[in-house]
Every structure is written in structure tokens, then in C-alpha cells.
Amino acid sequence: MPRDPIGLALSTMTRLAASPWLDRLGVRTSVEKAAYQGTKAGFRTLSLAAREVSRVSGWMPRKQLPARSSQDLFDLSLDDDQKLIVETLSRLAMDTLRPAAAEADEACAMPAEVYEAATELGLTLYAVPETFGGIAESQSPVTSVLIAEQLARGDMGMALGLLAPFGVAQAISQWGTGAQQSSYLPLFCDGDAPVATIAVDEPSPLFDPMQLQTRARRTGSGFELSGTKSAVVLGEVSDLILVAAVLEGTPRLFLVPGNSDGLQRSADPGMGLRAAQLTRLELNKVAVPNDALLGDDSFDYPGFLDRASLMRCGLAIGTAQAVLDYVIPYCNERTAFGEPISHRQSVAFMISNMAIETDSMRMLTWRAASRAETGQSWHREASLARLLCNEKAMETGTNGVQLLGGHGFVKEHPVERWYRDLRSVAVHFGGAHA
């Protein structure tokens, strides 16, 4: 967020809410609530102002967000804007997402009030350049990872649903043509932004996103898509779907309206991520126009997959942190043979290893995101982060259930849901085998 009066005021409120004097005066709860509501209102005001000032009329030239200046040292500290984003989304995750998580998991859908509360913050504005109504001034993979991490601390399934439009807007901002950016990006800055999602996964053993079975062929008026997609987030309700398909031997992305003829959608629930409303898509000769092909010959499909991997890593880190934050007080309070079970070396070592691996996932992911943000080579770092998160996310979920014993197996505690969600990290979007 730019350092405008709104940003300064919200930053001041956030620092006030963190003051130890609030505990001494007994007013922490009321001040924290005011800070959260004020921050949310500030984001909404900023969103409205951005739309009024930067309304796009007609076609605009292509606008790619520049990389930030490179630094000699890897700086782990967050700037003031990132701290504000983290604090705001942390409150949203704890106060709104987590209380609704069990109900959303049971219903296999995100509650409407949760979606509305999250979209009021205008997350997609961070993916859209100012020219088209957003507030993004440069590429921000680090901020994107922070957003994913904080939302996932509330619930990974709902976080995926909230980030799906964000991911589509980022892809169009990064690779879309001027006409595509002018047509679609302003929509993501409106109060009634379209529900959008990305369809890459396919129902095949050891799925490799570089070896797609969905095909696109050229026609006289555009393209024709045929194939099957699985585990598509919010697929049943999406207005716009970014579909990955092979065109003349090369993987590309296509902008497909949700109401296209030949597109069949059906529920595809899994053991985890149930709140993300996973969907199976059948594309039977779906016709799209020429301008549905995202970008031009400069489109970087491996780079698209790497960016998606970073977001998945952010989700894994946030959920792993939720597990860790839950099991520590549980093990300190749960007694056996007259003492807390955390006094047992085997339990203490397991918790400490979970903390080490969670921080390791975070550092590798932040490192890759930082290099991407500053225009350096980062494919190797993204691959290492994905590999570590694939392995350690599953391990953290398993250990969380193990530490709770029988309680880890029942729905009374959220750890079993986090275990199911974390299991998806190593199987979706190519998972551990790509």
C-alpha cells in the first residue's frame, strides 16, 4: 500500500493495538476490534479511490509490473506495508475463517459471508497495476506468499478459494496482452469482481503439469479445447476459468468463460480442501475466440508453474504454522502420569522438529519469492521450496495428529482437517512427482 494518509493512519492504529499499555488499562479487546474494523474500512476506501482515479476506458497498451531493485543481501525483514497486510489478514484468518472452517469443510463450500468479508479487503488490487485500477506498483511475489500464508492459518481450503481470483489476475497482469489486460483487469477491481479460477490438474496417475492431456487446436474463428480437469478450485461457480492446454506441442493458458458451450462442471470433493469447492471440468470441443489465448510467444509456462508453486508453499507454511500453534499449548496442558506430556523427550523433540521444518519451509519459500521479485534467476530456489514443502507439510500434519493421539483423529479438534489439507500439497499441481 502506498504511504498515503490512509496507510499512515492504519499503520498508527496497528502500532497502537500492539502496545503493552492496553493490557494494563484493560482495553485491549475493544482497541484491537477498532483497529481491525478501521483497517478493513481503509482497504475498502483505498479500493474505491483506486477505481475512481484509474478507471480504464477502451484499449490500453500492455503494462507489465517492473521487478524491484536487487539487493546484495537477502533481507528477511518486512516493510511497513507488508506488516500491515500480515496483521490484517491474520485477524481475518483467526476471527472469520477459522470459526467457519468446520462448517465449510462439512458443506464443501465457503460460506457467503466469509467470501464477502474477505473480498471487502480488495486482495486482487495487489495483483493489478495502477493503470487498470489496482494498486500494484511492482512485482510482489513476497507479498503474495505472505497473503497465502496468513489466510491458510485460518483454513487452507477457504484460502485457496479466496486466492483463486488473485492468481488469475496475477497471470493476466504478468502475461496478458494489452487488449486482455484492458478487458479483464478492471473487472477485478470492482466491488462485484468475477469469480475466477485456474484449471491445471488432470485425473491421471502421477500427473505432470508439463505433460498435459487437455488439447487445443486452431479453428477458423479461434481455438477448440478438449480434455478433463480435476480439483478445480471454485470450478462450479467461476465466471472465468484459466485453462491449461497443449497447443501445437506447447503448454498454454486459455481464458474460458464459465458458461461456454461444451463445458460441463460437476462436484469433485476430496479428502481435503473441501471448502475450496473442488470441481471436475469436462471440456468437449469448447470454442473460444483468438483473443482467449493468454499472452503472446513470450508467455512463460514454467514460470507460471513456479509462481503457482510459491503460492502452494505459502499455503503449506500457514497451515503447518496453525498445526504447530495448536499442538504446543495442547501438549503443555495435557497430562499423563502426573505431568504434561511435553515433558517427555519424544514429544518435545517432535514439536521442535516441526518448528524447525516450518521455519525451513518459510525461509526457502521467501528466498525464492525474493529472487523472483528482484528479477533474479529463481527456478532452482522455487523447485527446492516446492520439494521441501511437499515432504514436510505432510510430515507436520501427520505429527500433529500423532501428538494429539485419539483427539487428533476426531473432528472436535481441527488438526485432522489440517492433516487432510496438508496432504494435498504433495499431490496437486504436479505434487511430489513433477
Dihedral Cα 132, 367, 233, 323, nearest 10 deg:
-130
The number of C-alpha atoms within 13 Å of 349 and in the hemisphere containing its C-beta is 3
CB neighbour class for 175 (10 Å; exposed up to 12, middle 13-18, buried from 19): buried
pTM comes to 0.85
The one-digit pLDDT tens for each residue of the chain (434 residues) are 444 444 444 455 555 555 555 555 554 555 455 444 444 444 443 443 443 333 444 566 777 777 776 665 667 788 888 999 999 999 999 999 999 999 999 999 999 999 888 888 888 999 999 989 898 888 889 999 999 999 999 999 999 999 999 999 999 999 999 999 999 999 998 877 899 999 999 999 889 999 999 999 999 999 999 999 999 999 999 999 999 999 999 999 999 999 999 999 999 999 999 999 999 999 999 999 999 999 999 999 999 999 999 999 999 999 999 999 999 999 999 999 999 999 999 999 999 999 999 999 999 999 999 999 998 999 999 999 999 999 999 999 999 999 999 999 999 999 999 999 999 998 887 666 55
Query: Over the range 331-354, which residues count as b (16 or more CB within 10 Å of their CB) and which as e?
Result: beebeeeeeebbeeeebeebbeeb
pLDDT tens string 98-138: 999 999 999 999 999 998 888 888 889 999 999 898 988 88
What pLDDT does 190 receive?
A: 80
Q: Which amino acid is at 97?
A: L
pLDDT of residue 192: 79
Nearest-angstrom CA–CA distance, 377 and 42: 36
Question: What pLDDT sits at residue 42?
Answer: 45
The Cα 274–Cα 102 span in angstroms is 10
